[in-house]
Amino acid sequence: MFYFLFENYLHIFNFLNIFQYITFRSLMGGAFSFIFILTIGKSFIQFLLKIKSKENINKYLDNEHKLKKGTPNMGGVLISFSVMISIILFGNLDNFKILILIFSFLGFFISGFIDDYYKIKNGKGFNIKTKLVIQLLISITVIYFIQKFTGPFQYLDSLFNIEYITLPFTKEIFNIGILYYFLMILIILGSANAVNFTDGLDGLASGNLIISFTTLALLSYVAGNFLYSSYLYIPFISDVGEISVFISCLVGALLGFLWFNSNPAQIFMGDAGSIPLGGTLGIIAILIKQEFLLIIIGGVFVIEAFSVILQILSFRLFKKRIFLIAPIHHHFERLGIAESKIVIRFWIIGVLFSLIAIATIKIR
């Protein structure tokens, strides 16, 4: 809204000039979404308690988790509402990449919300196959929009189409052809579900999302600036800098959510939060052409997802478990490590992964 006012009413109100700057709108969007959640968070939690929107705890978890039964779920509704209001106020809605992110975020949010609703109403949500089919349909639709409405990107003074990728630690660029579209599906689905797996301890997913999104915000801003991107050998993509405004709104909302989600949590994000946030993480990496760097940036989520995959494969093939329980954060709980200590250590690991990801850019 403010960017629209800047474009159309600057000749009347000179102070609107400040809204042309991505940095200013990013800061304002993040601050607004943070304050918004702090303001209504407590009332929203009371509302969820009133309608009995409560978390069902996995029967295989320890007794300490059983004490969390009754904690309100569907905090993703609060996050999503805050993000949408913030991006409408401070984003440039003429930017098609922002529209793609809004569409994909809302699509994954609706699927997660319905799943959470059924969990509350019936005690269980969608089965795994149904979840994956819904997520696949959303992902294919998003990929279609990306392919059709986003143009080529510039790298090393040349233009390349969407099927070209860059890799960490190297300046080389590679054309993987039609395989790129399968890669996009893998990134989006993998990211969405990896974050969902990670959302098992108070503040674990939200804290690591803040770290990963902050890193992507920096990369988005650089990728949208020709001078910075050329110097650092990052693909230059027209209008992609605006994505940093969207990410700032997400980070502000997550910081506000973490205020209530930190141990002991007063609210959980549920699938209505973890699925759209995870999916958006992957889509942003695709839009800024940092698909493989996301593996490092989201290293904690990758570890969590692989712990689940390895546990399933090991049990089905050899009838043995690698971990006491998966995902891996619950394994450390079974070893007797306090929940808050596990969360903080995973945050530290997340920061280290992000620093490594940023360092790879300079190493190229």
Q: What is the pLDDT of residues 275-302, one digit of tens each?
A: 999 999 999 999 999 999 999 999 999 9
Cα→Cα distances 40→166, 260, 264, 267, Å: 43, 11, 19, 13
On the question of a cis peptide bond just before residue 235, with omega within 30 degrees of 0, the verdict is no
Q: How far apart are CA 110 and CA 223, in angstroms?
A: 30
Percentage, residues of the chain above pLDDT 90: 74
Confidence label for 344 from pLDDT (cuts 50, 70 and 90) = very high
Q: How far apart are CA 71 and CA 148, in angstroms?
A: 43
Assign 159 to helix, strand or coil: strand
In the chain, domain spans: 2-289
Check if the beta carbon of residue 24 is closer than 8 Å to that of residue 246: no
Q: Is 80 exceeded by the pLDDT of residue 6?
A: no
* Cβ atoms < 10 Å from Cβ of 18: 12
Q: What is the pTM of this model?
A: 0.94
Helix (H) or strand (E) holding 273: helix 271-287
Query: Which residues make Cβ contacts (< 8 Å) with residue 77, sequence separation at least 6?
Result: 44, 113, 272, 273
Q: Which residues of 261-270 are buried (b: 16+ CB within 10 A; e: fewer)?
A: beeebbbbbb
Check if the beta carbon of residue 249 is closer than 8 Å to that of residue 198: no
What is the reported pLDDT for 64?
59
| Mean predicted lDDT score pLDDT of the chain | 91
